[in-house]
Amino acid sequence: MKSIDYLKELTKFEHRGSATKNERQAAEYILQQLKRMGYKVEKQTFKTTRDNLYMLPLQVGVLLFICGFFSLMYGGPLEIALFLLSLFAISLLLLEVSGKPVETSIMPKFLSQNVFTSFDESRSKRIIVSAHYDTQRGSIMFHPKIVDKLSIIYNISYVGFGLIPIGILFNIFNLKFIASAILYIGLVIVFTDIVFMAICEITGRYTQGANDNGTGVALTLALAEYYINHKDKLPDNVDVIFLFTGSEETGERGMKSFIKKYRKKLSKDTQFIILDNLGTGKITYLEGEGMIFYKKAGKMLLDIAEEMERSHAGKVQKMKNLLLPTDALPAMAAGFDAIAFLAKDENGRLGNYHWHTDTIENVDTQLLSYEEEFFKEYLVKVAERLNKM
C-alpha cells in the first residue's frame, strides 16, 4: 500500500482525539496493518489527560493570579508562601516544555496507547521512526488570522507569568511601589491569558487531522512496509523500530511514556526520526527543539539531512525550531539523537495547523508520494552511517 492509501483509511475517523475512543480505534487499525505486513507488534498503554495545550496554561495562570492578587491586596506574612507557590506554578510550565516525563496536570486521566514493532534483540544498533496519530482540538488560538501571531502571544504570556513572582519578591523586600506596578501589569496579562485559554478550552473541537498527523502516520506505515520487504538494503546490525505514539497533542505523553519504560533497552546511539505534519509546503527538517530549553538535533541526522537538501535542490529546507515541540524533544531530553521532519512553506507555516480545514482534500498528494521516496532514501543513509559508528 502507498502512503495515500493509509491516509484515506485514517481520515475515515471523524477525529483521533488524544485518549478518546477514536484514538484507540486508530491505534487498532495501525496495529492490524503492521501485523498484516508481518511484524510482531507491541502495544504500550498509559494514562494521560485529554488536553494540556489549553488546560495547563489555564491551571498555571489561575494559580499565579491568586498568588499575585493576594500579594497585591494583603501581603504581609503571606508573602513568602505566595512567592514559593508562584515559583511552583512556573516550574510546572517549565517542566512541561522541557520534554521530561513528569506529570504536570491535575486533570482526570484517560487511557491512551503507543503501538510499535518489536525490538530485534540480535541487532545492537537501532533507529526509531515515529509519528503520532492523535489529533488536536482546533480553537480561536489557531484561527488563520491569529496563528501567525502565536509566538508573540506566547512570549507576552510568559512575561506576564514571570512578573508575578518578581512582583511578590519586591513586596518581600518592602519595595511596595515597584511591586504594585509589576503585579498590576502581570495580573492584567495573566487574567487576559486565563480568559483566552478558557475560551479555547470551551469552544475547541477536534480536527480531522489529515495533515497533523495523518500524513506522518501514513508515511511511517509506508516506510514500515518498505523496510520489511527490503531488509537486504539495510545493514544486518541495524534494527529499525516503527513507533506510533498516542497523545502527542497533550504534551508528547506517548513518547515520554515510551522512553520512560524502554530507555534501558536503547543504546546511547539510538537515532529517532520523527515525521509530523507532512502534507503541504516543502520538506523541512528542524535543527533543534524547544522554545525555552533549546536542544540541537543529532549531528549525524542533521548532516545527512543537509546532504539530501543539496541533492534534492529546492525540495528541502531547514528551520531552527517550532513554537510547540514535536516528539523529538522527549528523545533529546533523554539524551538520544533525534530529528523532526515537517512540511512548511517558505515563511515557516504549517498547512491548516490545528484548524478545521485540516482535511484530506487539503493534503498535497504529489508531495506525499515524493516524501515516501525521500524518507526511504534517508532511512537507508542513516542506517548505513549508524552501522559504521
Sheet-wide strand order for 282-286: 41-48, 110-117, 238-245, 125-132, 271-275, 337-344, 282-286, 316-319
Helix (H, G, I), strand (E, B) or coil at 202: helix
Q: Which residue has the cell 487574567?
A: 191
Rounded CA-CA distance 281/341 in Å is: 12
Helix (H, G, I), strand (E, B) or coil at 54: coil
Q: What sections of 41-175 are H helices per DSSP?
A: 55-73, 79-98, 150-172
DSSP secondary-structure letter at 349? Answer: P
Tell me the DSSP string of 85-96.
Answer: HHHHHHHHHHHH
Cα separations in angstroms, 34 against 3, 70, 125, 220, 281: 14, 56, 21, 11, 29
Half-sphere exposure of 339 (CA within 13 A, CB side): 25
Rounded CA-CA distance 14/209 in Å is: 9
Residue 17: predicted pLDDT = 97
pLDDT tens over the chain, length 389 residues: 999 999 999 999 999 999 999 999 999 999 999 999 999 999 999 999 999 999 999 999 999 999 999 999 987 788 999 999 999 999 999 999 999 999 899 889 999 999 999 999 889 899 999 999 999 999 999 999 999 999 999 999 999 999 999 999 999 999 999 999 999 999 999 999 999 999 999 999 999 999 999 999 999 999 999 999 999 889 999 999 999 999 999 999 999 999 999 999 999 999 999 999 999 999 999 999 988 889 999 999 999 999 999 999 899 999 999 988 999 999 999 999 999 999 998 788 999 999 999 999 999 999 999 999 999 999 999 999 999 98
User: Which amino acid is present at 26?
Assistant: A
CATH code of the region 3-49+111-138+206-388: 3.40.630.10
Domain ranges of the chain: 3-49+111-138+206-388, 55-105+142-203
DSSP secondary-structure letter at 286? Answer: E
Q: Give the cell for residue 7.
A: 491516509
Q: With contact defined as beta carbons under 8 Å apart, do 246 and 253 qualify?
A: yes
- For β-strands 41-48 and 110-117, DSSP reports them as antiparallel
Q: Which residue has the cell 504534551?
A: 251
pTM, 2 dp: 0.95
Helix (H, G, I), strand (E, B) or coil at 205: strand
Segment (H or E) for 148: none
Residue 194: predicted pLDDT = 97
Cα torsion angle, 206, 210, 214, 215, sign: negative
Residue 48: predicted pLDDT = 96
Share of the chain residues as helix, strand and coil, in percent rounded to the nearest 5? 55, 15, 30
Q: With contact defined as beta carbons under 8 Å apart, do 126 and 241 qualify?
A: yes
How many other β-carbons are positioned within 10 Å of the β-carbon of residue 327?
30
